[in-house]
Amino acid sequence: MKIGIFGGTFNPIHMGHLINAQYICEEFDLHQILFIPAKYPVHKQLGNGISAKDRMEMIRLAIDGNTVFNVLSIELDRETPSYSIYTARQLIQENPGNEYFFILGYDAFNDIETWKDYEELFHLVKFIIMKRPGDKLDSKFNRFINRIMCGNNPVIEISSSDIRKRISENKTIRYLVPESVRTYIKQKELYLR
């Protein structure tokens, strides 16, 4: 099976994540996309006091009903920081017959040299890079070109940081997140401070 790995903080998950994941899934004929929220992101501050349990539940709510989307808690269950290499090794060990594809934006991919054991990661998985506004692939990665595919997803300018800001300013986030996620955020009073 061809499995996409979509990692991130998902703080919160939003329509841009979901729309792009669906486009990538169809474009590359993936059998499944695994949303894997990071517990201790290495390259990003989490902030806002939002628990991993809340972020996980928002993903569950957002993908409910989509049979090709799934959420895994393997990084949340780990006590160490969320290194992608650990996740790749674990998934391959548990399901060695699958082919794995890391899904990420150009901005994150162009910083991949800062990732733990990034060269090993290129040998374990392939990469699908989503279009982002104004981004392009750095030529220094040409040596890995046979392990990199560029998606033709729509460029959707929605960000989790903007959503958090709108909530703190008492502005609506309707249509930026699935309605089930918006309801959850409101009921739990998340991101108010």
The continuous run of DSSP H or E covering 35 comes out as strand 32-37
Domain boundaries defined on the chain: 2-157
pLDDT tens digits along 111-152: 899 999 999 999 999 999 998 766 777 777 888 889 999 999
User: What Rg value do the Cα atoms of the chain yield, rounded?
Assistant: 16
The model's confidence at residue 39, banded by pLDDT at 50, 70 and 90, is: confident
Q: What is the CATH number of domain 2-157?
A: 3.40.50.620
What end-to-end distance do the CA atoms of the chain give, in Å? 43
Structure tokens at 184: 């959850």
Question: Has this prediction a pTM greater than 0.85?
Answer: yes
Q: Which phi and psi angles does 141 have, rounded to 5°?
A: -95, 10
Evaluate if residue 41 carries a pLDDT over 70: no
Strand partners, 69: 33
Q: For 80-187, list the strands marked E by DSSP.
A: 99-105, 126-130, 148-150
Cα separation, 165 vs 161, whole angstroms: 6
Evaluate if residue 45 carries a pLDDT over 60: no
pLDDT tens digits along 157-183: 899 999 999 999 999 999 999 999 999
Q: What pLDDT is stored for residue 161 in this prediction?
A: 92
Evaluate if residue 98 carries a pLDDT over 90: yes
DSSP state string for 81-148? ---HHHHHHHHHHH-TTSEEEEEEEHHHHTTGGGSTTHHHHHHH-EEEEE--TT----GGGGGGGGGE
Q: What pLDDT is stored for residue 124 in this prediction?
A: 97
